[in-house]
Amino acid sequence: MIAKDKDKQLGRGGRRWRAVLVWFLAVVVLLPFAQMIWTAQRPREVVDRSYRYLSQLLPAHEMTRHLEIAPRPLRVALTNSIIVSGTCALLCVVLGAAAGYAFAKKEFRGKTALFDLVLASMAVPPAILMVPVFRLTVVLHIYDTLLALILPFSVTGFAIVYMRYAISAVPDSLIESARLDGLSEAAALFRVVLPSIWPSVLTLAVVQGIATWNLFVLPLAVTASQENYTVAILLGRLMSDFGGLMWNDIMVVVIAALLPIAVVFVVFNRWILKGSTAIGDEHPAGRRP
Partner 1 sequence: MPGRYAQPELLEPRRGRSGAYLFLAPAMAFLVVFFLYPVLWTVFVSVSDYDPVTATARVEGLSYYREVIMSAALWRSILNTAYFGAVYIPLTLLGAAVLAMLLVGQVRSRPVLKAIFCAPCVVPTVGAALIWRAAYLPFNGSLDRLLCIVGWEHGPGWAGWLGEAYLAMPCIALMCVWRDTGLLALILLSALGRIPRCSYEIARVDGATKWQTFAYVTLPMCLGTVALCLIMLVIRLQNVFQEIYVMTEDGGPANWTVNIPFLVYRYAYIDYGWGRAAALASVLFAVTGIIIVVQNRMLNKRLGWS
Residues 55-94 that bind partner 1 (CB under 8 A): none
Residue in 41, 47, 70, 197 binding partner 1, rule: CB under 8 A: 47
Least Å from the CB of residue 130 to partner 1: 7
Specify the DSSP element, H or E, that contains 193.
none
CB of 281 to partner 1, least distance (A): 6
C-beta separation of 201 from 194 below 8 A:
yes
For residues 117-136, which are near partner 1 according to CB under 8 A?
Answer: 117-121, 123-133, 135-136
288 touches partner 1 by CB under 8 A: no
CB of 275 to partner 1, least distance (A): 11
Is there binding between residue 26 and partner 1 (CB under 8 A)? yes
Asked whether the beta carbons of 83 and 147 are under 8 A apart, the reply is: no
What dihedral do alpha carbons 237, 234, 266, 169 form, nearest 10°?
-90
Q: Is 265 in the site for partner 1 (CB under 8 A)?
A: yes
Name the helix (H) or strand (E) containing 249.
Answer: helix 247-267
Q: Is 257 in the site for partner 1 (CB under 8 A)?
A: yes
Determine the Cα–Cα distance for residues 221 and 228; give it in Å rounded to an integer.
Answer: 12
x/- letters, 27..46, toward partner 1 (CB under 8 A): --xx-xx-xx-xx-------
Judged by CB under 8 A, does residue 190 bind partner 1?
Answer: no
Q: Shortest Cβ distance from residue 170 to partner 1 (Å)?
A: 15
Of 29, 277, 269, 270, the closest CA to residue 21 belongs to: 29
The reply on whether position 219 binds partner 1 by CB under 8 A is no
Span of 55-63, 69-77, 191-199, 213-221 interacting with partner 1 by CB under 8 A? 213-221
Nearest to 210 by CA among 271, 166, 253: 271
> What φ, ψ does residue 194 adopt, rounded to 5°?
-60, -45
187 contacts partner 1 (rule: CB under 8 A): no
Coil/strand/helix, residue 219: helix
Show contacts with partner 1 in window 224-243 (CB under 8 A).
Answer: 231-232, 235-236, 238
Contact 175, 188 (CB under 8 A): yes
- The Cα–Cα gap between 281 and 286 comes to 8
Contact flag: residue 282 with partner 1 (CB under 8 A): yes
The reply on whether position 113 binds partner 1 by CB under 8 A is: no
How many residues bind partner 1 (CB under 8 A)? The answer is 93
Minimum distance between the CB of residue 193 and partner 1, rounded to whole angstroms? 12
Note whether 230 and 81 are within 8 A (CB).
Answer: yes
Q: To which H or E segment does residue 137 belong?
A: helix 130-139
